[in-house]
Structure 1
Amino acid sequence: MIALLVCDDSAMARKQLIRALPPEWPVNITQASQGEEAMAAIRQGLGEVVLLDLTMPVMDGYQVLAKVREEGHSCRILVVSGDVQEEARRRVVELGALGFIRKPAPAEELRATLDELGLLRAEPATTETQPADKPEIKVGFRDALREVTNVAMGRAAALLAEELGVFVRLPIPTVDLFEASELHMALADANRGDSLSAVCQGFIGEAIAGEALLLFHDSEVADIAHLIGVRPGDDTATSEMLLDLASILIGACLTGIAEQLDIRFSQGHPQLLGEHARSIDELIQFNRARWRQTLAVEISYGLEGHAVHFDLLLLFTESSVPRLTAKIQYLME
């Protein structure tokens, strides 16, 4: 039997990945929800083969790869991640990963990659080496939506990285249900007293509706403009730049979510909202009547080597939750 370690902070991702494993592959499966747990399992000999996510709390996948090399473990690691930036692929291979598969990993691609890398030992089943039963994994709605968003934001980050010529640091998305008056809590870390500019874009499809809100700190806009080549002081070009960046991030993220849930979103035109607003609360008040109680998904992108980040909120209406739940439940079956 092969000691297989599946490391991902999302129960949804672990369930999808384990379900995609070749059914005849004789493995003993151990699960880890973050890098330190993975390293503990590897030190116990439970990670002969490791399927490793990159974006995790406590210790991420890059740190796991570096630690495995530092400690001299012989485990063979295949990265399975939603971060599909070319630089991410290059870095994991440089750190010792044997290969890279983007989430969600199709069963056929996973089998072919394992076989190509020599990791798939499809030994004849005997009483000693029977294919292991796949563990039953319970997945909650928030975890599932967070993982769907994680995959979508990775695709958006790849486009942003290509546009700006930088490496985009990806966060772990947060999912919460808020009253309109509480939305500022979702951005408490981002609200540093800076003035803000924001782009808002509505979306609707198959009984799911909401608005995407992308926030920029004005103190960082000049750095973004410099990356793109916009001249300082050109307010018109700066506004167009913010709208273009919003189209990339919001459009790619919504498309990624829609593809996974097998729906199609119609998107409104992006609008510059509350330019140079004094606080997040001022922005929330602008649309308070429409947002009311909202399912909020927060994503905070950062640019490596630059003091720049974007805060993206996907705000789903309360009436969208039943349809979202049904779509996600179907995805998990």
Structure 2
Amino acid sequence: MSAVSLLICDDSSLARKQLLRSLPAAWQLDIHQAAGGVEALERIRKGGVDLLLLDLTMPDMDGYQVLAQLRDEGLDCKVIVVSADIQEEAVRRVLELGALAFIRKPADPVHLRQTLASLGMIGTELPMLGQRDAGDMVGFRDAVREVVNVAMGRAAALLARVLGVFVQLPIPNVNMLEVGELHMALADAAQGDKLTAVCQGYIGGGIAGEALLIFHDSEVADMARLMRADDYRELEMLLDLSSLLISACLSGIADQIDVVFSQGHPQVLGQHASIEELIRLNRERWKSTLAVEISYSLEGHDIHFDLLLLFTEDSVELLSRKLAYLMD
């Protein structure tokens, strides 16, 4: 039996590594990898690709666009979407665009094997023993970005159910920032608008930090309407939304690195405040930090808000140890 030509398309080297580890070791494969949608399409156009394992959230060309292009060009290639975006609407859209199946990240080897068997790609008798070579080591920032990507996908699915909307997910931005650089990053997010920020501390397994959810005041009233907040104050609505999003995101991270985070009570850092005031109030706490920025947008609404996960400098080494088994 000839080898199956498999193309894995994901901008995260960790995600590609996890997929390789999840594939049945005895399956005869000719494996190719692409770090983005444009690269994947170029490879498929050359012919000979039997199966594409496709991510959705990518910088140059997302998975939805790849699926649409495959359909429009009539390119013959089976597609299974493997994504952290587990919103029901995301699943519906990719199947409508021609994907044969949807698998949530990180891919469970048993579920992946069952899916491949149901599509006739492998036989049900194929053993799962052994582990496929997963390639080079993964960098720390890439590992953090992919772990957060999975977590924010779970949080978005919860938010989508609560609000009845489709949440557009970004690629998380991961950086080590000094307080001045953090100031600039927040100022860029603000773009001159007045802000209300809710902060919630967390700690677990020696890893500590603060989650900061930033709302633009011009969008708070629209968010309140979506939350059906007529019967309680906007501030309470922001605290409820912050607790929901931050808890879901931290829980998603904790599950992947095997820790349990304890969370403090959400606090309003500044209401109708400028970014300069927020920085002045918190300069001592944010001297140096591993900063993860997630910018959520709600489709069909002019609503955007930023979630910042600020890990203390002392937490970076511990976090790196927790991620080591993923990175090797």
For the aligned pair, the TM-score class normalised by the smaller chain equals over 0.9
1:307 equivalenced with 2:302 (yes/no)? yes
TM-score by length of 1: 0.93
Q: Is the 8 A contact 2:149 2:171 kept in 1?
A: yes
Match of 1:70?
72
Determine if the alignment matches structure 1 residue 52 to structure 2 residue 54. yes
Aligned to 1:158: 157
Q: Which amino acid aligns with 2:21?
A: R
- Aligned pairs for 1:113-128 within 5 A: 113-120=115-122
Q: Find the aligned partners of 2:48 and 2:299 in 1 and give their Cα distance.
A: 34
1:107-146 aligned at under 5 Å gives the runs 107-120=109-122, 134=133, 136-146=135-145
Cα-to-partner distance string for 1:52-81 (whole Å, 9 max, x where unaligned):
000001100000000000010110000000
1:317 aligns with 2:316: no
Q: Alpha-carbon deviation of 1:121?
A: 5.2
Measure how far apart 1:288 and its partner are: 1.3
* Alpha-carbon offset, residue 273 of structure 1: 1.4
Unaligned residue ranges in structure 2 (runs of 5+): none
Q: Deviations over 1:74-110 (max 9, x none)?
A: 1000000000000000000000000101000011111
What's the secondary structure of 2:7's corresponding residue?
A: strand
In 1: Cα distance, 2:52 partner to 2:183 partner: 39
Q: Normalising to structure 2: TM-score of the pair? A: 0.95
**1:220-279 alpha-carbon deviations (Å, 9 max, x no partner):** 111111112223xx8x61011101110111000000000000001000000111011122
Q: CA deviation at 1:184?
A: 2.5
Contact 2:139/2:327 (CA < 8 Å) preserved in 1? Answer: no
Which of the residues 270, 289, 292 maps onto 2:287?
Answer: 292
| Other-structure match for 2:262 | 266
Alignment partner of 1:17 is 2:16: no
Alignment-derived partner of residue 6 in structure 2: 4
Aligned position for 1:246: 242
- The residue aligned with 2:199 is 200
For residue 187 of structure 1, report the CA deviation from its aligned partner: 3.5
Paired residue type of 1:71: E
Q: 1:321 to 1:166 in 2, by over 3 A?
A: same
The Cα offsets for residues 176-225 of structure 1, whole Å up to 9 and x where unpaired, read as 01111221333354222110001000000111000000000000111111
- SS of 1:190's partner is helix
CA shift digits 1:151-194 (9 cap, x unpaired): 00000000100111000000000110111122133335422211
Query: 1:45, CA displacement in angstroms?
Result: 1.9
For the residues of structure 1 that align with 2:311 and 2:246, how far apart are their CA atoms? 14
Q: Which amino acid aligns with 1:163?
A: V
1:94–1:205 CA distance, 2 compared to 1 (3 A):
same
Measure the CA separation in 2 of the matches of 1:138 and 1:189.
33
Q: Report if aligned partners of 2:198, 2:213 keep a CA contact under 8 Å in 1.
A: yes
In structure 1, C-alpha distance between the alignment counterparts of 2:143 and 2:301, rounded to whole Å:
31
Give structure 1 stretches of 5+ with no counterpart: 125-130
Distance, in Å, in 2 between the alignment partners of 1:123 and 1:258 is 35
Distance of 2:136 and 2:158 partners within structure 1: 33
- The CA deviation string for residues 114-156 of structure 1, in whole angstroms up to 9 with x for no partner, is 11122225899xxxxxx99645133100000000000000000
Letter in 1 for 2:74: G
Runs of 4+ in 1 over 3 A off after TM superposition: 121-124, 131-135
Deviations 1:275-310 (A, max 9, x none): 11122x321221111221100000000000111011
Q: CA RMSD in A?
A: 1.9
Q: Which residue of 2 aligns with 1:176?
A: 175
Give the letter for the 1:158 counterpart. Answer: A
Equivalent position SS for 2:314: helix
2:101: which partner in 1?
99
**Aligned partner letter, 2:118:** E
Contact 1:186 1:298 in 2 (8 A): no
Q: How far, CA to CA, are the matches of 1:56 and 1:266 in structure 2?
A: 32
Aligned with 2:272: secondary structure?
Answer: strand
Q: Partner of 2:259: helix, strand, or coil? A: coil
Corresponding pairs, count: 324
Q: Percent identity?
A: 63
Counterpart of 1:295, as a letter, is: L
| CA 48–19 in structure 1, closer or farther in 2 if over 3 Å, else same | same
CA distance in 1, matches of 2:123, 2:73: 26
Answer whether contact 2:204 2:262 (CA < 8 A) is retained.
Answer: yes
Q: Distance in 1 between matches of 2:56 and 2:49?
A: 16
